[in-house]
């Protein structure tokens, strides 16, 4: 098992380097003047050159990448000239809030998706299956930001049941906290529910066609016992997709957090885009992408423990 | 049949004429077309899309209002108002007019990246799959890097780095889609390369480029077409998302994602009008997804 962990973790290192390289390229090579906003409008060419030299912009690109990587690895994600704050500080505060929202959406979305998918898979070909499969394609197509606005219209503007935005502090009690969480979680997790349900259904249907299911039935096991065996064998693709889903939730948080004024990474990115504060956009992208890679690594390892077949091939 | 042809009568001749063997076996594309024409959901989706695309193209002739200039006195009229069937927006512009015009940019922003990325991704994937070796390693490992990002986030990051504007949104989305298409093309090519007709083409002295274009491309078309058509529904939503975030068109242009964001502040005054642009995005996206499912079934591609 230790070998499996080491090998998988080793495979993540080139990916992580690739991520840093891509983010750095966005930061350094794409058009756009990195000195904009840092210089006074009446700055001379000499001022520009001096600042470029101070920031190391006159060095060759590979040297700049290695230097930047070193800074990033030591936790220096840059400075936001617009907010006059270290980007790390901004991200730290926002990170916790995004983790709450994405975590809650993931738990809710994956649970509901797996339940619906199993339900449809077990009752394949019945009206239940058709309703679930049909709803899944709706869930896949519907833009999360539109659902967010529809929820706001119904539950906030019309019924006035739920707050339109912001985050509830746990110190103020669990009820306001949950009230703030309901709509962002519902809007954000709809796609997760749809994709998870589809993957789960396909996997359950496929597993039910295996010969071991006939054997279990022939041995006289009850249907719910058979389902337990099927579930254990069908979980692998669902786990794979769940890692991806959490990543998509983090990516989609830009839209959901913006609409519900949720003070997380997504809202930080949105505001930074409006202010052309690229340091923040790129640092946040880096943090989310690294989380995404590590998350998929964790899912990989989890799969290896669940499924002995993977352990052997790894 | 000409009058000079001999005529045969009798039951044996009848049976021979009505025999159940078609003159020529149905080709792959004919079979696909027949299967598609039998798929009611797919045809309905195609019909909805045809109407939406047509109404976007014909917007100037179908509408009577100016899409960019509003009447301040007629701001925020609800759905069903006289003269404004779908109401007006926060600047007193007719919603129906803006929704029809908005379809132009929304559809372009959703479709064009898929088209460009499909041609680039197919080329990269086919070259990698055909040549193999270090060329494939370089191409495919580069593509793998893109998989380390959640799709929407990568599109947002690239688009934000390039700066706002519809052109940059299209470039950003194209970059994001190349990797998955290249993967599909590479996998399909690797299956084709081992076929004997490729070997035969090589023996006749055909160049690599010629083989790629005449032999490989025709045989990897189906899986790529199915994947790309499935991507369009998502692409429409991502394009609208980027516009929603202010990365796409600049005011006063009409675009669905942008309109949805602009109307966000009016949900307490004129709620259902604010929801309309999203309904159009959803209608296009779900129609494309259903069409893609029908195409997949018709072309008989798994996945």
Cβ atoms of residues A95 and A265 within 8 Å: yes
Q: Do B148 and A16 touch (CB under 8 A)?
A: yes
Cβ atoms of residues B32 and B300 within 8 Å: yes
pTM exceeding 0.95: no
Q: Taking Cα atoms as reference points, which of B283, B228, B223 lies closest to residue B100? A: B283
Rounded Cα–Cα distance for residues A242 and A109 (Å):
9
Give the three-class secondary structure for B262.
Answer: helix
Q: Are residue A77 and residue A147 in the same domain, yes or no?
A: no
Residue with the bigger pLDDT between B242 and A173: it is: B242
Q: Are residue A309 and residue A216 in the same domain, yes or no?
A: yes
Helix (H) or strand (E) holding B13: helix B11-17
Segments forming the whole domain that contains residue A37:
9-85
pLDDT tens-place values along chain A, 314 residues long: 677 778 878 888 888 888 888 888 887 765 556 566 666 767 778 877 877 777 777 778 788 888 888 888 888 887 777 777 888 888 888 999 999 999 999 999 999 999 999 999 999 889 999 999 999 999 989 999 999 999 999 998 888 888 887 887 777 778 888 888 999 999 999 999 999 999 999 999 999 888 898 899 899 888 888 888 898 888 888 988 888 888 889 888 889 999 999 999 999 988 888 887 778 888 888 999 899 888 888 888 888 777 766 655 54
Q: What is the pLDDT of residue B213?
A: 87
B231: closest chain A residue by CA: A141
**Across the interface, which of A14, A26, A255 has its CB nearest the CB of B244?**
A255
Q: Are residue A155 and residue A37 in the same domain, yes or no?
A: no
State yes or no: pLDDT of B130 exceeds 70: yes
Q: Do B271 and A22 touch (CB under 8 A)?
A: no
CATH at residue A300: 1.10.3720.10
DSSP secondary structure string for all residues of A235-298: HHHHHHHHHHHHHHHHHHHHHHHHHTT--SHHHHHHHHHHTT-HHHHHHHHHHHHHHHHHHHHH
**Across the interface, which of B150, B268, B278 has its CB nearest the CB of A143?**
B278
The reply to whether omega before A224 is within 30° of 0 (cis) is no
In a domain, A215, yes or no: yes
In a domain, A189, yes or no: yes
Q: Do A273 and B237 touch (CB under 8 A)?
A: no
Neighbouring C-beta atoms of residue B291, cutoff 10 Å: 24
Among A57, A85, A113, residue at a domain's last position: A85
Q: Are residue A24 and residue A159 in the same domain, yes or no?
A: no
Chain A hits for B241, CB-CB cut-off 8 Å, are: 143, 145, 255
**Across the interface, which of B156, B237, B264 has its CB nearest the CB of A149?**
B264
Q: Are residue A141 and residue A219 in the same domain, yes or no?
A: yes
Q: Are residue A303 and residue A160 in the same domain, yes or no?
A: yes
Q: Do B157 and A141 touch (CB under 8 A)?
A: no
Q: Are residue A72 and residue A113 in the same domain, yes or no?
A: no
Q: Are residue A100 and residue A73 in the same domain, yes or no?
A: no
Give the count of Cβ contacts less than 8 A between chain A and B: 145
Chain A hits for B266, CB-CB cut-off 8 Å, are: none
Chain B hits for A18, CB-CB cut-off 8 Å, are: 141, 144-145, 148
Domains of chain A: total: 2
Cβ atoms of residues A314 and A8 within 8 Å: yes
Chain A hits for B274, CB-CB cut-off 8 Å, are: 149, 153
State yes or no: pLDDT of B272 exceeds 70: yes
**How many Cα atoms within 13 Å fall on the side-chain side of residue A46?**
0
Q: What is the pLDDT of residue B1?
A: 44
Q: Do A26 and B157 touch (CB under 8 A)?
A: yes
The interface predicted TM-score (ipTM) is 0.85
Q: Do A137 and B293 touch (CB under 8 A)?
A: yes
In this structure, whether the domain defined by B33-63+85-299 belongs to CATH 1.20.120.450 is answered with no
CA distances, B94 to each of A279, B69, B102, B207 (Å): 40, 9, 12, 58
Q: Are residue A153 and residue A68 in the same domain, yes or no?
A: no
Among A85, A119, A136, residue at a domain's last position: A85
State yes or no: pLDDT of B185 exceeds 80: yes
Q: Do B150 and A248 touch (CB under 8 A)?
A: yes
Chain A hits for B179, CB-CB cut-off 8 Å, are: none
In a domain, A149, yes or no: yes
Residue-range domain boundaries for chain B: 33-63+85-299
Among A60, A85, A110, residue at a domain's last position: A85
Cβ atoms of residues B157 and B168 within 8 Å: no
Where is average pLDDT lowest: A235-249, B1-15, B63-77, B79-93? Answer: B1-15
Q: What is the pLDDT of residue A37?
A: 60
Cβ atoms of residues B223 and B301 within 8 Å: yes
State yes or no: pLDDT of B49 exceeds 70: yes
Chain B hits for A158, CB-CB cut-off 8 Å, are: 271
Phi, psi angles (nearest 5°) of residue B205:
95, 15
Q: In the numeric block, which tokens belong to residue B245?
A: 């975030």
């Amino acid at each position: 098992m230790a070998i499996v962990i080491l090998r998988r973790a080793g495979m993540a290192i080139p990916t992580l380097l690739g991520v840093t390289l891509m983010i750095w390229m966005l930061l350094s090579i794409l058009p756009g003047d990195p000195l904009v906003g840092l210089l006074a409008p009446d700055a001379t060419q000499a001022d520009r050159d001096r600042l470029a030299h101070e920031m190391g912009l006159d060095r060759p690109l590979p040297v700049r990448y290695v230097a930047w990587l070193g800074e990033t690895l030591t936790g220096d994600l840059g400075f936001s000239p617009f907010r006059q704050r270290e980007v790390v500080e901004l991200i730290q505060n926002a990170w916790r809030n995004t983790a709450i929202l994405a975590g809650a959406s993931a738990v809710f979305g994956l649970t509901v998706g797996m339940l619906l998918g199993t339900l449809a898979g077990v009752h394949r070909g019945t009206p239940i299956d058709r309703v679930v499969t049909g709803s899944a394609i709706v869930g896949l197509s519907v833009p999360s930001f539109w659902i967010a606005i529809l929820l706001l219209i119904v539950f906030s503007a019309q019924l006035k049941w739920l707050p339109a935005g912001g985050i509830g502090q746990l110190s103020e009690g669990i009820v306001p906290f949950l009230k703030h969480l309901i709509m962002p979680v519902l809007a954000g997790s709809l796609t997760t529910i749809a994709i998870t349900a589809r993957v789960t259904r396909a996997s359950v249907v496929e597993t039910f066609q295996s010969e071991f299911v006939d054997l279990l039935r022939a041995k006289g096991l009850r249907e719910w016992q058979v389902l337990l065996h099927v579930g254990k064998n069908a979980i692998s693709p669902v786990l794979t997709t769940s890692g991806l889903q959490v990543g998509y939730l983090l990516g989609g948080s830009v839209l959901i957090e913006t609409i519900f004024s949720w003070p997380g990474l997504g809202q930080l990115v949105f505001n930074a885009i409006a202010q052309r504060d690229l340091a923040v956009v790129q640092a946040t992208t880096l943090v989310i992408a690294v989380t995404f890679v590590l998350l998929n690594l964790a899912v990989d390892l989890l799969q290896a423990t669940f499924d002995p077949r993977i352990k052997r091939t790894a | 049949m000409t009058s000079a042809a001999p005529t045969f009568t009798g039951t044996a001749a009848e049976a021979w004429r009505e025999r159940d063997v078609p003159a020529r076996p149905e080709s792959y594309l004919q079979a696909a077309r027949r299967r598609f024409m039998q798929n009611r959901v797919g045809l309905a989706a195609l019909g909805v899309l045809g109407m939406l695309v047509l109404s976007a193209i014909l917007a100037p002739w179908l509408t009577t209002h100016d899409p960019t200039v509003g009447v301040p006195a007629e701001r925020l009229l609800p759905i069903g108002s006289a003269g404004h069937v779908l109401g007006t927006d926060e600047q007193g512009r007719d919603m129906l007019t803006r929704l029809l015009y908005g379809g132009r940019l929304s559809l372009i922003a959703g479709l064009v990246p898929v088209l460009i990325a499909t041609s680039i991704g197919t080329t990269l994937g086919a070259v990698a799959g055909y040549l193999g070796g270090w060329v494939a390693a370089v191409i495919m490992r580069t593509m793998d890097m893109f998989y380390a990002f959640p799709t929407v986030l990568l599109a947002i990051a690239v688009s934000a780095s390039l700066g706002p504007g519809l052109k940059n949104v299209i470039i950003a989305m194209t970059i994001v889609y190349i990797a998955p298409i290249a993967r599909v093309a590479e996998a399909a090519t690797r299956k084709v390369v081992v076929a004997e007709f490729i070997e035969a083409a090589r023996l006749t002295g055909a160049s690599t480029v010629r083989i790629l274009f005449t032999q490989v491309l025709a045989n990897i078309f189906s899986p790529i077409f199915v994947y790309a058509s499935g991507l369009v529904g998502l692409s429409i939503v991502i394009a609208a998302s980027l516009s929603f975030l202010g990365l796409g068109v600049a005011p006063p242009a009409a675009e669905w994602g942008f309109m949805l964001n602009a109307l966000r502040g009016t949900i307490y005054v004129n709620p259902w009008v604010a929801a309309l642009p999203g309904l159009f995005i959803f209608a296009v996206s779900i129609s494309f997804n259903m069409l893609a499912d029908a195409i997949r079934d018709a072309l008989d591609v798994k996945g």
